[in-house]
Amino acid sequence: MASHEVRIDSSRPLAQQPETGHNRWHPDIPAVVGCREGDEVVLETRDALDGQVGPQTAVQQVGGADLSVVHPLTGPVHVEGAEPGDLLIVEILDIEPDSYGFTVQIPGFGFLRDVFPDPHKIDWRIADGWATSPDLSGVRIPGAPFMGTIGVAPSRDLMARATAREQAAADGGGLALPPSAEGAVPAGGPITAEALRTVPPRENGGNVDIKQLVRGTRLLLPVYVPGALFSAGDAHFAQGDCETCGTAIEMRARLHVRFSVRKGEGSRLRGPRFERDDYFVSPEYAAPRRFLATTGIPVGPDDENRAEDLTLAARNALLAMIELLGERGYSRQQAYALCSVAVDLKISQVVDAPNPLVSAFLSLDIFT
């Protein structure tokens, strides 16, 4: 089996090495490497903020981070024989972590951005499968590296539909970003004007932030363009099922993948599926053995009951967990970050109207 590798110089931003990747989704972005089914492909990947945050970065600089360059992806990879309507099976063989990671809070971004308006940064040291930090004493986070952003190029039709529906969402007051040439790679030309931003996941995958996409998981994606044009980036060393503050333990990585194609089987998928045959992380972290949990129902601070609003229920479960971590001595921003990397939100029920209930789980095994 042949092997293919795309290497990057992570000391320079993607804009200075556009031959290694892109930070927008568009069907016309040319492949940087080609492979056949069964080949191993290795992609070196940049962190989600394209090198803007490091150990020396001051918190004030985090507040001024340029989000237009999110997410630098490595690729696309052209998979020979993949055609629109096919199913691409991405076998995740390995994700080699870096030795440094960060978790940041950027003003205007994150699930609780109205409650947390100030920048914040945690530096992580990654070694032997664990992340530890002088900025968050008393915890160690077990590693389960995965690619936050992973997907294939959209078709022209999907790109047009996504652009229209996201504009409608923005017009309705939602947080959605239209195409923008600022910070875009590739830079200039028709691709830049039309290409989709990488922030939301879509039918073609993308910024899915699914923490179970670790080594050994198979990701199934519908193919929209000839060659599938697969790309990935935004590796996370660890993340809670929520990524509350907008970032996980963000890092550079080396992704190893292998592809196979099932002819004609992609058209019935409405979006990514994924599957695996064993625990995605040691069992005590996959399903916490010892845990604390809080709950949320959709009742606002003014006692307004927003019927069947799962988002408000999730928000309240998280706010309750932040209170609980405060009782253990963490500042509110530390607690918010800890939720982002280690708290799993679970929908306990969606049926007991008007109050669906979300639980927030924190494994006690992370405390040292």
Residue of the chain from 234, 238, 322, 363 that contacts Zn ion (CB under 5 A): 234
- 48 lines the binding site for Zn ion (CB under 5 A): yes
**Nearer of residues 116 and 224 to Zn ion, judged by Cβ:** 116
Amino acid letter, residue 167:
Q
Binding mask 193-232 vs Zn ion (x if CB under 5 A, - otherwise)?
----------------------------------------
Residue with tokens 């940049």: 46
For residue 92, the cross-strand partners are: 257
Interface stretch with Zn ion, choices 42-50, 73-81, 311-319, 336-344 (CB under 5 A): 42-50
- 39 lines the binding site for Zn ion (CB under 5 A): no
Residue of 183, 259, 202, 207 whose CA lies nearest to 228: 259
- Distance, in Å, from the CA atom of 119 to the CA atom of 240, rounded to the nearest integer, reads 20
**Nearer of residues 148 and 272 to Zn ion, judged by Cβ:** 148
**Nearer of residues 252 and 258 to Zn ion, judged by Cβ:** 252
**Nearer of residues 199 and 324 to Zn ion, judged by Cβ:** 199
- 148 lines the binding site for Zn ion (CB under 5 A): yes
- Shortest gap between Cβ of 293 and Zn ion (angstroms)? 25
SS3 222: strand
**Nearer of residues 39 and 234 to Zn ion, judged by Cβ:** 234
- Shortest gap between Cβ of 220 and Zn ion (angstroms)? 22
- 246 lines the binding site for Zn ion (CB under 5 A): no
- Shortest gap between Cβ of 346 and Zn ion (angstroms)? 21
SS3 114: coil
- Shortest gap between Cβ of 189 and Zn ion (angstroms)? 27
Residue 226: asked if its preceding bond is cis (omega within 30°), the reply is no
Residue of 47, 82, 71 whose CA lies nearest to 237: 47
- Shortest gap between Cβ of 233 and Zn ion (angstroms)? 9
**Nearer of residues 281 and 324 to Zn ion, judged by Cβ:** 281
- Distance, in Å, from the CA atom of 177 to the CA atom of 168, rounded to the nearest integer, reads 11
User: How many CA atoms lie less than 13 Å away from 120 in the CB half-sphere?
Assistant: 25
- Shortest gap between Cβ of 102 and Zn ion (angstroms)? 10
- 337 lines the binding site for Zn ion (CB under 5 A): no
User: How many CA atoms lie less than 13 Å away from 181 in the CB half-sphere?
Assistant: 7
Residue of 111, 197, 103 whose CA lies nearest to 149: 197
Is the Cα dihedral 28, 78, 13, 52 positive or negative? positive
Count CB-CB contacts under 10 A for residue 212.
17
**Nearer of residues 205 and 222 to Zn ion, judged by Cβ:** 205
In the complex, the residues that contact Zn ion under the rule CB under 5 A are: 48, 148, 234, 250
